């Protein structure tokens, strides 16, 4: 059911944990399934220098959170704004409709994060 990319990010999550000295931290939740994503980033010279996540949720939510932190690294807020759920799904080998909500949760994290990066 899960693609090799989903399983890899789930079994070997990148950037999991708490980020000390974060520039911004947000928490978003999928009210339907209950998945929760806490996302923290540290900005340096207008780019995301570090990102960490803590996720309580399904396999796909964990995989999308891990992938999200990789996608954020080195990007400006404008570049981050361009990340879409479809892009995330494709990067993970194509999420089935039943688990696509995890990519949307990750992008909800981006939407919550962006206003904090402008402050």
- CATH code assigned at 73: 3.90.1010.10
Domain count, the chain: 1
Predicted pLDDT at 104: 96
Residues of the chain short of pLDDT 70, as ranges, are 119
Residue 16, beta-bridge partner list: 53
Predicted pLDDT at 31: 86
Whether the predicted model's global pTM rises above the 0.85 cut: yes
Helices (H), ranges, the chain:
4-11, 59-72, 77-81, 85-91, 101-118
74: domain range? 4-118
Are 62 and 53 a contacting pair, CB within 8 Å? no
Predicted pLDDT at 6: 96
Closest CA to 102 of 81, 85, 87: 85
């Amino acid at each position: 059911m899960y693609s090799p990319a989903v399983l890899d990010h789930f079994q070997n999550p990148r950037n999991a944990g708490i980020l000390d000295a974060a520039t911004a931290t947000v928490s978003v939740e999928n009210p339907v399934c209950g998945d929760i994503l806490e996302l923290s980033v540290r900005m340096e010279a207008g780019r995301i220098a570090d990102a960490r996540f803590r996720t309580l949720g399904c396999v796909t939510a964990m995989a999308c959170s891990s992938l999200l932190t990789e996608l954020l690294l080195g990007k400006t807020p404008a570049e981050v704004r361009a990340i879409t759920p479809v892009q995330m799904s494709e990067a993970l080998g194509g999420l089935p409709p039943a688990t696509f909500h995890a990519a949307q949760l990750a992008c909800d994290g981006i939407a919550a994060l962006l206003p904090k990066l402008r402050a």
